[in-house]
Structure 1
Amino acid sequence: MKKFPFLIGFLSFMSTLTFCQKTKQVDLSTSIYNVLFESNIKIKDSLIIYALNFQLEIIKNGEKTLVNQITANDSLAFTLFPSYKKLKSINFTSLMNGRKKIRLIIPILIYGSSSGEKKHLDSEGRPLINLESAANAAYSLYSPSKFNNLHNANLNLLHRLYQQNKVFKEEAFWEATTMNPIVYEIGNIK
């Protein structure tokens, strides 16, 4: 009978440890969201679908981490999220998992439309976006390749991949840690 309270206490303690580990991941995601969404996004297009990503090169520095480099697949990311440099202040130790260096990709999908400028609608009144733009957006969320959402959204994705491989000799495989996409919907662009 004396073992029963000990067992309950031990199980309670173990569940607390598990809960604490999950909280660290939530805090890391929340920190990233807070940094990126400090400023208001101002867009002048009437119908948008932008797929951006920030790529952070992170190295372990003792008990903390150091963000060596921040790049983006589109320079538009730096314009829309001017507070991106604050990502360097976040401690990414929980992502390292024994590695000394990682590449973290933070995908961001921004979409929206202006109620007055909708030209082509589906049967439920939602705006249609052409297939090339949708395919390029899907690929651009996680790809480290440079892309210009404003000028190249209507390019054929296969042509884009061919050009990239021809010019950059990009490898077919690359290692990266990715987080779930951050989705930013703009309900009525003005």
Structure 2
Amino acid sequence: MSIKNLWHHRKVADGSAKACWICYKPSTSVLITPDNKDFFYVCIGHLSDRGFCQPDADEAAAAAARKKKEELDLEIEKVKKEYEEKQRIKREKRKDKAKEKDKEKEKDANKTDEEEDKSDEKTKDDKIKELSKSKDQAQVDLGPRIFTLNKNFYQMRIDRIRNAEAAKRNRERLSNPANLPSPPSGFP
């Protein structure tokens, strides 16, 4: 039985992390064959190592396109934030002019302005946290998802499968008493 040298990258839950096949560090990334006959855990750093595996050409191009789109989305988000900041500054200047006209109203406006500033800062911090989380997750997802192993590593996987099949056949043979030799029937 031979498996095709095509491996899909999958992620598992953090609680299901197991040792990397190469460095034995806990990893949540798995390379699996399309027919689900073989799989192994591997670190993300090894996936970018050219000595270990290469991404599929079409998949690499698609990953580059996804990365470019993600960069454009981040740039758009940055421009929107700058625009909102400029608008907020303009509103504050208008409020300052209104405050100069009426000092009593100024005290009330300061309270509301402080509350608005605090709420604006909280929303800003929340947005930054969300963007950083989505950015980290996007960086993991940006990479290619289909790989081919280098010749030596692929041969190691084939050997492992063959050895497992041979061990299974040997266990079956030993469990069947008909395959064992019979004891001698005559006296010596």
TM-score range, shorter chain: under 0.3
TM-score normalised by L of structure 2: 0.23
Larger radius of gyration: 2
Structure having the higher strand fraction is: 1
TM-score normalised by L of structure 1: 0.23
Structure having the higher helix fraction is: 2
